[in-house]
Structure 1
Amino acid sequence: MSQRVGMGVVGAGAIGIRGALMHLSQEDVQDRVRLAAICDPVPGRAEAAAQKYGVARWYLTYEELLADPDVDAVTLCTPIGLHYQQGLMAIDAGKHIHFNKTMTTRVDEATDLIQRAAAKGVHIIASPGMMLFPHNRRIRRLILEGKLGTLSWAIAGTTAGSGQYHLQEEFRTGQDVLTSVDPSWYFKKPGGGPQYDVTVYCLHNITGILGPARRVTALSGIAIPERHYQGRTIATEMDDNTILMLDFGNAMTAVIYATVAGSITVGFQPNIYGTEGSVVGTRFKPVAGEEQELKLPDEFPPHVSGVHREMREFHVFEDMMQLVDLIREGKPSIVTAEHARHVIDIIESGYRAAETGQTQELRTTFDPLPLADL
């Protein structure tokens, strides 16, 4: 396929605007991708977004967007609990799919999508593609080369999805149709809660670096039973305070936290400790020798150049461009649905472990990057 990929943006909320529309409307990508259509069920929102960002057509319904012959692929910028059904519909319509995190909420749903897409010849890219960041590949290389010695334990986590962040985003505090997006779904079943929203980044990082986990146990619950947004109360349905413990084999354990307070790591990066050294965030600290910063200045994922480097959610843009390359050139991506499914397995099994008090065996795996590809 040599022509531009027609992208359909599904949802004109925070991630649809910040992650898709702002990036894909930039002049430097118009030779490869164009904004063919957008849909949103809130009256006036898709139309306003289309006018602001130069989208060719707008629709109220997803079905109308899928019927548009100029839409080659979709980016699902919708609540996570809708992703499975919307993914099925896209596959049936023959549209390639970029799933914003998380691809689904259950392993069986992810497996069904993978199998159906393969049978239909539909490509899937499932965010977040954290191993596209060069510093994460350097960390994995250090581990595979034995520079950390025998691995002992690791920790990663965040408080971003449990606190006030989603209530205070710029797309939720305004008065017009594009800046008054309801955040309620973040706190509701089945796709809300910080595990699917932000811990997914930490889990893609640590499994991308260490490889697939084997077992998970967890403690989890609701710490803040209700939130307040624009004069109304949102009841919290999904756990907002969860700590996972992952078994990677060989007595290597990782703690992954999604809590309402108390972040002790930097961003979504893990701290990894071994007998010969450690990686703390993006700094390699050998037992003997000089510390080394693994994140180099002005270094970004492969498609993030020019103005995109100054914009938020450039990792979402990068993942979408991975799909564009896959469609146009048949270029394989390391951002795989199988990796996303393994992370979903950890989250789903973690909730089950917390509920039952029993450690859960993980049912899935994926192929981590080999040394030759780093």
Structure 2
Amino acid sequence: MSDEVRIGVVGAGSISLRGILPHLTQGDVQDRVRVVAICDPKPGRADRAARKFDVPDAFEDYDDLLDSGEVDAVTIASPIGVHFVQGRKAIEHGLHVHFNKTMATTLEEANELIDLAEEEGVKLVPSPGEMIHPVNQEIRALVEEGALGKITWAVTGAAFGRYHEEESVRQGDDVLTNINPAWYFRRPGGGPLYDMTVYGLHTLTGILGPAMRVKAFSGLRIPKREFRGETVSCEMDDNTLILLDFSDQIFAFVYGVPAGSLPNQGHSRHPMIFGTEGVVKRDTLNGEPVDREVRELIEDRGWMKGWSAALPHVNGPHRSIEEAHVYEDIMQLVDWIREGNPTLASAEHARHVIEIIYKAYRSAQTGETEKLDTDFEPLKV
């Protein structure tokens, strides 16, 4: 076992300020991981964040952080469209990498990151690690045991709404509270699929296994948005409907849309899976909780915090901090570096989800059904 992992936080935006930095600067993890640097290109933002969270160093230039020799790993929490370039540079410097969803926007990029990481001997953990959660593991076991009879179809998806425009870190006047969300609506990396539907896709494929084919319709429904009185021009598709073929006549409907969601689905990160003898919805099988302790956590703490409280590293003060699932994924990387135990949040699984999204967009352009070429090792049950 190595000593503490020195980590650099790349991007001092919403996810870092609300979640990553509050979690990783808690006293209970300092024996394992220590944030030694923050990087953000916005003048003054990294420095202000470093002072707020008592982090030793701050950088505006990413290359300066990588060349500093101060870090063993980075957690990349910048806009999704730059994840590939930033991840590749970190790997080339011999650094381990956590990606706060999604690690790339094309299959070719994902392949390059995985191949390069293997060559350099570094570890990759892409969020969201949905199969780390004990309920999702139990649901996969139930499906494998035939508790739903024969699986027939499933549904998952998410709606953008105005979630990002209304986050607390975007309503103020200083550099830590006036963060512009415009990148969520731009190419590359914008749109609800890479940002939100990715959760449900990780869970769905984690439970059912890899998909075989994809067919989709996609377009831009809301070409302009408003943020704090200014017009934001949108470029990236925001209205995408997908059909997935899991083989053996098992199909799924997946959506990433600007508004609206299925009324019975529950939280967007959880698929509904239907079989001849029942249905899985959120943490229930035929209406009964899969795990009673998790249900009690949800009832006590609310849905998001209760669900996250069941994750392996989310205890003590971490149960009251936002984005605990991202903290869990980072700690999976930390444990892997220190103890040598690979995580269930594999880069190969993330690559398969990226291929689904990437080829869904391509299918929408060509009108053709696209074959999926990637695979990953599903959870053993």
TM-score class, shorter-chain normalisation, is over 0.9
1:70 Cα deviation after fit: 2.3
What SS does the corresponding residue of 1:165 show, helix, strand or coil?
Answer: coil
Amino acid at match of 1:353: S
CA distance in 2, matches of 1:330, 1:3: 13
Q: Which residue of 1 aligns with 2:316?
A: 306
What SS does the corresponding residue of 1:74 show, helix, strand or coil?
Answer: strand
Deviates more, 1:336-345 or 1:250-259: 250-259
Q: How does 1:141-160 map to 2 (within 5 A)?
A: 141-159=141-159
Q: Which residue of 2 aligns with 1:99?
A: 99
Q: TM-score, normalised by structure 2?
A: 0.94
Alignment RMSD = 1.2
CA distance in 2, matches of 1:277, 1:103: 35
1:210 Cα deviation after fit: 0.5
CA distance in 2, matches of 1:262, 1:91: 39
CA distance in 1, matches of 2:357, 2:90: 25
Q: Which residue of 2 aligns with 1:348?
A: 358
Q: Which residue of 1 aligns with 2:49?
A: 49
Moved over 6 A (4+): none
Q: Which residue of 2 aligns with 1:70?
A: 70
1:229 Cα deviation after fit: 1.1
* Fraction of identical pairs, as percent: 52
Q: Which residue of 2 aligns with 1:116?
A: 116
CA distance in 1, matches of 2:73, 2:330: 10
1:69 Cα deviation after fit: 1.9
Q: Which residue of 2 aligns with 1:14?
A: 14
CA distance in 2, matches of 1:281, 1:157: 13
1:297 Cα deviation after fit: 2.5
Amino acid at match of 1:185: W
CA distance in 1, matches of 2:231, 2:316: 42
- 1:316-352 Cα shifts (integer Å, max 9, x gaps): 0000000000111111111100000000000000001
1:201 Cα deviation after fit: 0.3
- 1:146-205 Cα shifts (integer Å, max 9, x gaps): 11111100111111xx22111111111111100111111100001100010001001001
CA distance in 2, matches of 1:17, 1:33: 17
- 1:259-300 Cα shifts (integer Å, max 9, x gaps): 222211111111111112111222101xxxx83444432351
Amino acid at match of 1:55: V
Q: Is the 8 A contact 2:218 2:239 kept in 1?
A: yes
Q: Which residue of 2 aligns with 1:282?
A: 283
Q: Is the 8 A contact 2:239 2:258 kept in 1?
A: yes
Residue 266 (structure 2) pairs with residue 266 (structure 1)? yes
Q: 1:250 aligns with which of 248, 251, 274?
A: 248
1:33 Cα deviation after fit: 0.4
Q: Is the 8 A contact 2:19 2:321 kept in 1?
A: no
Q: Is the 8 A contact 1:90 1:97 kept in 2?
A: yes
Q: 2:288 aligns with which of 271, 274, 291?
A: 291
Q: 1:210 aligns with which of 199, 208, 212?
A: 208
Q: Is the 8 A contact 2:2 2:337 kept in 1?
A: no
Unaligned runs of 5+ in 2: 298-308
Deviates more, 1:272-281 or 1:33-42: 272-281
Q: Is the 8 A contact 1:171 1:181 kept in 2?
A: yes
Q: Which residue of 2 aligns with 1:131?
A: 131
What SS does the corresponding residue of 2:116 show, helix, strand or coil?
Answer: helix
Q: Which residue of 2 aligns with 1:231?
A: 229
CA distance in 2, matches of 1:310, 1:15: 15
Residue 336 (structure 2) pairs with residue 326 (structure 1)? yes
CA distance in 2, matches of 1:63, 1:196: 25
Amino acid at match of 1:199: T
Amino acid at match of 1:361: K
CA distance in 2, matches of 1:190, 1:292: 39
1:5 Cα deviation after fit: 0.5
What SS does the corresponding residue of 1:167 show, helix, strand or coil?
Answer: coil
Q: TM-score, normalised by structure 1?
A: 0.95
